[in-house]
Structure 1
Amino acid sequence: MKVLSLLIIALLAMPSAQAWATGQVINRILVKINNNIITQYDLDEKLQPILDQIKDRELSAAEQEQLKALRKRALVDMVNDILIQQEVELYGIAITDEDVEKEIDRIKQERELDDDAFEAAVAQDGLTVDEFRERLKQMMEKQEIVGHKVNKKVLVTDSEIEAEYEARKDQYSLDKTVEVALLLLPVDVSAVEVRTRIADGEMTFAEAVAKYSVGPAVDSGGSLGEMKYADLAEEWRQALVGVPEDGVSDPLTIQGQQALLSPLKISEDALVPLEDVRDDLFQQLMQKKREQAFTEYFDQLKESAVIIYMDESMKPDDGE
């Protein structure tokens, strides 16, 4: 929960510069929401931190238009907040002071903040600790109503997780890997001759390593372990092109000596196992469904509410 940057970050709107330049205080009803109202004073109070920053500025015509749009957005947010609060009251949801303090303690612990550091962090958002408590309480109430009306109705099935995994296979594909065995030959042994003997079945690659190799991993058949193709040296990649598992490459020179390579195991289309990402997919699908369900619930809530904008110029655009 991103609580230390709570509701002030998006304080979005401001009144006209002219009203503030003249020091006028206008308190008129802007919106009626069922049995509640929002006044000019309410809107200005919410936006006070921003208003304080611009009241001495001379704004251009373009800035005035931007502020008007932001102001409308802020009013929409306030209307939405009231609709949720009405639902909180309707369902008798109550967040106690103890609940709030427990959440604050959790935040402090999660962010490793002592009391002074917490108070300083809250102050950076322009809030006192008491104001923060009140806003946190409101947010927790909203979470409760969302849980009551939305979360209990959201389910994610195993088949949905599996379908999402299939749809995202490109995201879960691993780099092509190969387990490479190296046979590094002494100067008096012909790489071509040894390769021919292995190819004809006279000896296995591991037996050739045990008999001839002056390189590493002699006891394990020359195996250097699994590597990403992308991490191999260019001459190694070229030597392995077209060579099947347990096959033998054409001779190549490594550190001045003749050598042979054998791809003991090739993983072309390896994927991160479903079980390794199941929980992440579940959380992502759950969040997506919750957002969709909340949007549907909130659209119905707005449709059933009586919302009257007293000033048509403050009415939100379609879709808001």
Structure 2
Amino acid sequence: MRSSCFSLVLGVVLVLGTLSGVATARDVVDRIVAVVNGDVITLFELNQRFRPVVEQFQGQELGEAEARMLLDGKRRLLDRMVEEVLLRQEAERLEIEVSDVEVQNQLRQLRERAGLTESQFLEQLTLQGLTREQYERRLRDEMLRHRLLSAMVRRKVVVTTDEVRAYYQANQERFAQQRQVRLGLILFASRDAAENVRSRLMQGDLTFAEAAQRYSQGPAAEQGGDIGQFAWQDLSPEWRGAVEPLQVGEISSVVLIQDRPALIQLLGEQAGELKALADVEDEIREALMEPRLEERYDEYLENLRNRALIDIRL
């Protein structure tokens, strides 16, 4: 057991050493860790991909459990890299391509979606130990993978109209639009003040909006107390209890909101209703297709593996 533990820890120490950026005699020399139909995966490539995981353990003493977890994780990553090579080779065989323009457009969209400038984006890549060229290669491989799977897997998965309709009937609560309410709120310093204002509101001496602007010590006072629209399910029990008896335009009795006297007005309401099948058909089709895609994807990869010459040397 001690020998096994030592081997595990030594393996992790060697990984940490190769990522430290310090050239020592104990550094692991780059070597081939897998050959996939003649294409090689090197230890350097594997370590670079595994670097974010290893860096979480920098400076720590690793026990047997942590060491085993790291090595198992590294082996799983190598398996994924083998799959990536297989898929890339299959895309080449089928002449499925991703152009430079497509890669650049996708990269720009990802960068803009993250709200990063070009310099910020490059800085993030540097922190991950990547160059722009390396990231572009990974992005191209991912785009190729999706294109290949769409061509070879997705087209073979069929969801019938009858299946969509049956799912809709069996899961109607999932497609029910929630009741929505728009609320006005006035918070007071004392219950007497709240009762007095409510009495005036009932007599028509002032409107709810006017009362909110003059007396509210809560949010949206300047907007006449209009605090916006809420899904019924998101309201706390105390709010639901106050709003439930109201018709649109009506004002609640004095209630306690977070231990403060308050008045609530129901400004508007949208009743919950069942979405039409036509509006959710695509969503249902995707939900039914997902597990089938996973199954076919696993079968497709297994078939590629069985036909391939793979030599794992890790």
Instruction: Please report the TM-score for the alignment, with normalisation by the length of structure 2.
Output: 0.57
* Structure 2 match to 1:16: 12
Q: Is 1:91–2:94 an aligned residue pair?
A: yes
8 Å Cα contact 1:15/1:44 also seen in 2: no
In the alignment, the residues of structure 2 paired with residue 52 and residue 67 of structure 1 have an alpha-carbon distance, to the nearest angstrom, of 11
Change in Cα spacing, 1:162 to 1:124, as seen in structure 2 (3 Å) is: farther
SS of aligned partner of 1:47: helix
Greater helix share, 1 or 2? 2
Change in Cα spacing, 1:234 to 1:97, as seen in structure 2 (3 Å) is: closer
1:17 deviates by 0.9
* Structure 1 match to 2:118: 115
SS of aligned partner of 2:301: helix
* Structure 1 match to 2:36: 33
* Structure 2 match to 1:6: none
8 Å Cα contact 2:14/2:28 also seen in 1: no
In the alignment, the residues of structure 2 paired with residue 130 and residue 175 of structure 1 have an alpha-carbon distance, to the nearest angstrom, of 48
In the alignment, the residues of structure 1 paired with residue 101 and residue 149 of structure 2 have an alpha-carbon distance, to the nearest angstrom, of 21
1:208-227 to 2 correspondences below 5 Å = none
* Structure 2 match to 1:80: 83
Q: Is 1:167–2:163 an aligned residue pair?
A: no
In the alignment, the residues of structure 1 paired with residue 93 and residue 86 of structure 2 have an alpha-carbon distance, to the nearest angstrom, of 11
- Aligned pair count? 222
* Structure 2 match to 1:280: 283
SS of aligned partner of 1:38: strand
Change in Cα spacing, 1:105 to 1:73, as seen in structure 2 (3 Å) is: same
In the alignment, the residues of structure 2 paired with residue 131 and residue 233 of structure 1 have an alpha-carbon distance, to the nearest angstrom, of 59
Equivalent pairs: percent with the same residue? 26
Instruction: Please report the TM-score for the alignment, with normalisation by the length of structure 1.
Output: 0.56
Change in Cα spacing, 1:61 to 1:166, as seen in structure 2 (3 Å) is: same
8 Å Cα contact 2:52/2:128 also seen in 1: no
**Structure 1 gap segments, 5+ residues each:** 1-13, 178-213, 215-227, 238-253, 256-266, 315-320
Q: Give the AA of the match of 2:13.
A: A
Q: Give the AA of the match of 1:159.
A: D
SS of aligned partner of 2:26: coil
**Structure 2 gap segments, 5+ residues each:** 1-9, 18-23, 181-202, 204-231, 247-252, 255-270
In the alignment, the residues of structure 2 paired with residue 234 and residue 53 of structure 1 have an alpha-carbon distance, to the nearest angstrom, of 50
Q: Give the AA of the match of 2:132.
A: V
* Structure 1 match to 2:301: 298
8 Å Cα contact 1:31/1:37 also seen in 2: yes
In the alignment, the residues of structure 1 paired with residue 103 and residue 244 of structure 2 have an alpha-carbon distance, to the nearest angstrom, of 64
* Structure 2 match to 1:154: 157
Q: Which has the larger radius of gyration?
A: 1
1:301 deviates by 1.4
* Structure 2 match to 1:144: 147
In the alignment, the residues of structure 1 paired with residue 44 and residue 120 of structure 2 have an alpha-carbon distance, to the nearest angstrom, of 33
In the alignment, the residues of structure 1 paired with residue 243 and residue 49 of structure 2 have an alpha-carbon distance, to the nearest angstrom, of 63
In the alignment, the residues of structure 2 paired with residue 139 and residue 176 of structure 1 have an alpha-carbon distance, to the nearest angstrom, of 41
1:118-129 to 2 correspondences below 5 Å = 118-123=121-126, 125-129=128-132
8 Å Cα contact 1:15/1:71 also seen in 2: no
Q: Give the AA of the match of 2:43.
A: Q
Deviation readout 1:164-209 (Å, 9 max, x if unpaired): 11221343356799xxxxxxxxxxxxxxxxxxxxxxxxxxxxxxxx
Change in Cα spacing, 1:104 to 1:24, as seen in structure 2 (3 Å) is: closer
